[in-house]
Every structure is written in structure tokens, then in C-alpha cells.
Amino acid sequence: MDRHLRTYLDSFKVPGYFWSTFLIDVLFFGLFWQAFSRFSRYLENKNVEILGGRSVEQIQQLLVGSPEQALPYVQQLQSYLLSALGGLAVLAIAAFLLFSLAQGLIWNLLHQKKLTAKTYWRWNALQLALIIPLLLYALAAQIVKLMVTALLGGMTRLSPAVYLNNAVLIDALLLTLDKAVSLLLLLLALTILFLIYYQFAQHYRVWSSIGRGLSLVKTHWASIWRMILLMATTAVLPAFMLIPLQKAFFLYPTAETILIFAVSLLFLAWMRFYMVKVIHGHPASSAQ
């Protein structure tokens, strides 16, 4: 059997700590989802309370015609904006700190190590250092997508008659190709990020770990591109399996959302484990 295919199949034989990493993801993203959902509902209720049944246009007219009567609305609006901005800032900081904690716990589990207070704060430093590289990757990925879109659009103009006669089929094919490119770019980004995280959990040196992670992409590219294709195939299969269930969940959208959420996090946990097996052969092995 081909070595890459054997590693892929072996990646589904997960150890016990795999489920611990999955549970950490569920707890973090579940808390994140609940916190922002509750805060969003709070802002909506507060907005309704401030407006008091009036439309925005009516309040604008009140501001122009009777500034004195509009003063309570202005004060309430100022309080609302301050609480909204303050709440968002607190949630963003809490989410950042909890995300670093989750990644520290997960990648130390993959190394069979323990996270300490000292190493936890280094995870926060790594997340900050990764902001600019991730933004640059997002920009590069957007450029690639635009180029692919332009290329696919140009192909349809080569033979207008063929396109007009098969417009529905060709549009569906182009949309599928566009989504495939987006998926591959996302999987590549996650793979690079995971390689950096894995290196960091070994050395706890921010810039050195980023360099080592990017170096692994180059040295193991022959394995990485095959891995990404197999990851993409694995990601598509659950999507097709969920299609027949959409009718069953038509009356239960919350249940459908929870199912998609759980499957996505399960795929994310498996992807981490698979990547480690491809690069190092075993999660506990040392980096090159």
C-alpha cells in the first residue's frame, strides 16, 4: 500500500488524548458562541428599549425639532454605545486569552506535556506575532482566488455559444471549482498554522517556531500537498452525508447547527492529528 494512503488510513485510529483535544475545542468554541450570542441578544433588547417603538427617522426628527425632549434618548444612546464597545472589547480579549489557553492545552497534549503558567503566556505572544503573517496570507489567498475567478471567467468567453447552451451546468461547475480552491487555500493555511503550533509547543520560541514551521512546509511539501488533497476529500464526504439530513432538520435548525458544529470540530481535531502523523510519524516524536 502507498505510504501516504497508509498514513491517511492510520490517522483514523486515534488515541485517547485525541478526544481530549476535541473536547477542548468544543468547550472553547461553545463558550465563544454562547458568549457572543448572549451579548448580541442583549444589544438587540437594549436597542429596542432605547427606541421605545420609534423608528430611527422619528428620533432624527425629534433631535431636529425638539432637542430638549431628545436629550434622554441621546444620553441613553451614549450609554448604549459605550456598553456595546466595552462589552465587545472585553469579549474579544477574553476570547483571545481563552483561544491561547485552548491551543496550549491541545498542543501540549499532542506532545504528552503539561501547560504551565509561564508557557501559557508565551502562547499569547505567539498569537500576536502571527497576526501580520496571517493577514498577509489572507491577502495572497484573495489574490489567488481573484486570478482563478478571472481565469474561469475567461474560459467561458472562449466559446459563448457552448456556454449559452450549457449555462446551468457550466455555472455549477465553475462554482464548484471556486469552492474547491477556497477549501484548498483554507486547508493549506490551517496546515501551516498547525506546523507552527507544533514547533512552538516543542521550543517555545516565537519567531524560531514560525521559521521552523514554514521550513517544514518546504521540506515536506511532497507529503503536504498529498495530505491536503486527502483532507479536502475527507472534508467533502461529511458535507454530502449531511445533505439528506437537511430535510429531516428542516423544523429543527438548532439541531442542524449543533450537528454541523460538532462535525466541523471533529474534522479539525482529526486534521491536527493527521498532520502530525504525516510530518513526524507520531505525535510524541521530536521535530526535525
Give tens-digit pLDDT for 113-122: 889 998 999 9
Query: 151 pLDDT exceeds 90?
Result: no
Q: pLDDT at position 63, please?
A: 65
Q: pLDDT at position 154, please?
A: 72
Please name the residue that has the C-alpha cell 495530505.
227
CB atoms within 10 A of CB 239: 11
Rounded CA-CA distance 156/149 in Å is: 11
Q: pLDDT at position 66, please?
A: 66
Choice between 81 and 71, residue whose per-residue pLDDT is larger = 81
Region 157-183: mean pLDDT is 76
177 Cβ contact list (under 8 Å, min separation 6): 148, 152
Average pLDDT of the residues of the chain: 84
* Predicted TM-score (pTM) above 0.75: yes
Choice between 158 and 23, residue whose per-residue pLDDT is larger = 23
